[in-house]
Amino acid sequence: MTSQPPSPTPQPSEQVPTCYRHPDRETWVRCQRCDRPICPDCMRDASVGFQCPECVAQGNRGVRQAKSTFGGTVVRTAVVTWTLLALNVVAYGVETLAPDFVLGRFAMWSQGVNQGEWWRLITGTFLHSPLTLGGLALTHILFNMWALYAIGPALESRLGHLRFLAVYLLSALGGSVAVYLFGVSAVGASGAIFGLFGALFVVSRKLGYDARGVLWLIGINVVLTFVVAGISWQGHLGGLVTGTVVAAAFAYAPAKNRNAIQLAAAIGIFVLLALVLVVFPPLAGASLTG
């Protein structure tokens, strides 16, 4: 009788790992950083293999985010420019349908502002010469929107979305305050556009570009402001000065604490414009377009 070797003890089958985020899904793939199993829905491409979403998010927190030239986020699409352009066009469409109501309620009118209708300072900058005036009324909005289309994206890409919007709105407000100060009524985005002209000059100088073309652009438009009848020189020059000052504060702010300095400058300019409205009464004047 021969002896038989003992039978091997049965071994439990190897346990199949499951995704740490989806326990009902089996997987043999592991995150290259934390070694936890991950299913296809949780796999994120890495330089070698895959990583889990948490490790990718943790890695991104340590990566310095790209900034625009003067501290804003990198602009890939000039959404502020296109939004402002669309708002102007829509406002003009509504104005064309109901000119008396829209202009009577929302146009920049110094006496109305003096009576507490503060919204006119901004709403008036989104309105333009109504078609009821005939003649070359349509050229008013066409020129302003062409200028916004031509220089807006370049400025927005260098300033960033919020800083570009601040320059536009503060320039518009500066133009309206100048209109208020001299007691005239006006409509038009020209104050904001002239502010962008000033900002373009400042940015060009700061970056070392040849700014002579911008100076010619500003000079020609300033001359036209005083030569062509019915144009609000107050709105144009008020916007130009305001936009230039705001852009200079943004462009020349020191790198250390840049965001705080730029924010303080924007708030300070806004407060200064508000003080002008509070301290000085409007003067009598004629109705003009901006």
How does pLDDT run across 26-64, given as a tens digit for each residue?
Answer: 888 888 888 888 888 888 877 667 888 888 888 766 545
Rg, C-alpha atoms of the chain:
30
Annotated catalytic residue: which of 128, 140, 161, 236? Answer: 236
Structural domain contains residue 74:
no
Structural domain contains residue 140:
yes
Annotated active-site residue 22? The verdict is no
Cα(191)–Cα(185) distance, rounded to whole angstroms? 13
Q: Which residue in the block uniquely carries the two structure tokens 């400025």?
A: 155
The percent of the chain in helix, strand and coil, each rounded to the nearest 5, is 60, 5, 35
Q: Dump the DSSP string for 242-261.
A: HHHHHHHHHHSS-STTHHHH
Residue 140, domain extent: 79-279
Structural domain contains residue 247:
yes
Domain count, the chain: 1
82 in Cβ contact with 167 (< 8 Å): no
Residue 13: what residue type?
S
Residue 29: what residue type?
V
Annotated active-site residue 190? The verdict is yes
H or E element that contains 51: strand 50-51
Annotated catalytic residue: which of 190, 204, 232, 287? Answer: 190
Structural domain contains residue 231:
yes
* Residue 240, SS3 per DSSP: helix
Residue 6: what residue type?
P
Comparing 69 with 135, the larger pLDDT belongs to: 69
* 196, two tokens: 């962008």
Mean pLDDT across the chain, nearest whole number?
87
Q: Kindly state the average pLDDT of the residues 180-196.
A: 91
pLDDT for residue 7 is more than 60: no
Express each pLDDT in 240-258 by its tens digit. Answer: 999 999 999 999 999 889 9
Q: How confident is the model at residue 67, as a pLDDT?
A: 65
Structural domain contains residue 132:
yes
Q: What is the CATH number of the domain that holds 262?
A: 1.20.1540.10
* CB within 8 Å of 2: residues ≥ 6 apart: none
280 in Cβ contact with 183 (< 8 Å): no
Q: How confident is the model at residue 154, as a pLDDT?
A: 92
